[in-house]
């Protein structure tokens, strides 16, 4: 059970790291956008500047698509990790049943890295 707790802690840390990365990227994008808007208010509306803004917008759209794809992959990876944790928990619970009458709960075996486990969970 301690292994399961550790895996859950690890998953939560990964999720938090992904959210922090997203927040940093979003903040950076908003700062760039604010800078462009402030520059646009000065009245310098040349074609070159418009072209530059268009290129920047296209780059930002591409970055956003890549970020969404990254987030989707992270969610898929987390879901797969949770499925594996669930399989581990089910396997551990199945193998923690007392073999003999009178076996105390504290004497239960945790079988999580046996070849049988690998075949059943990863199989």
Query: pLDDT by residue (tens digit) across 65-122?
Result: 999 999 999 999 989 988 888 888 777 777 666 566 655 554 445 555 566 666 666 6
pLDDT of 37? 63
Q: Which of 32-41, 58-67, 111-120 has the highest mean pLDDT?
A: 58-67
User: Is the whole-model pTM more than 0.75?
Assistant: no
DSSP letters along 49-112, please? HHHHHHHHHHHHHHHHHHHHHHHHHHHHHHHHHHHHHHHHHHHHHHHTS-SSTT--GGG-----
Percentage above 90 pLDDT, the chain: 11
Specify the pLDDT at position 117: 61
Cα(63)–Cα(30) distance, rounded to whole angstroms?
13
What residues does each domain of the chain span? 2-122
114 SS3 class: coil
């Amino acid at each position: 059970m301690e292994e399961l707790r550790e895996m859950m802690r690890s998953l939560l840390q990964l999720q938090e790291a992904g959210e922090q990365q997203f927040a940093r990227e979003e903040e950076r994008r908003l700062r760039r956008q604010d800078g462009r808007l402030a520059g646009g208010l000065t009245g310098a509306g040349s074609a070159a500047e418009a072209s530059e803004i268009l290129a920047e917008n296209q780059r930002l759209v591409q970055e956003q698509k890549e970020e969404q794809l990254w987030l989707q992959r992270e969610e898929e990876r987390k879901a797969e990790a949770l499925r594996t944790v669930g399989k581990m928990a089910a396997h551990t619970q199945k193998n923690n049943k007392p073999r003999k009458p009178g076996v105390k709960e504290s004497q239960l075996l945790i079988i999580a890295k046996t070849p049988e486990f690998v075949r059943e969970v990863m199989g």
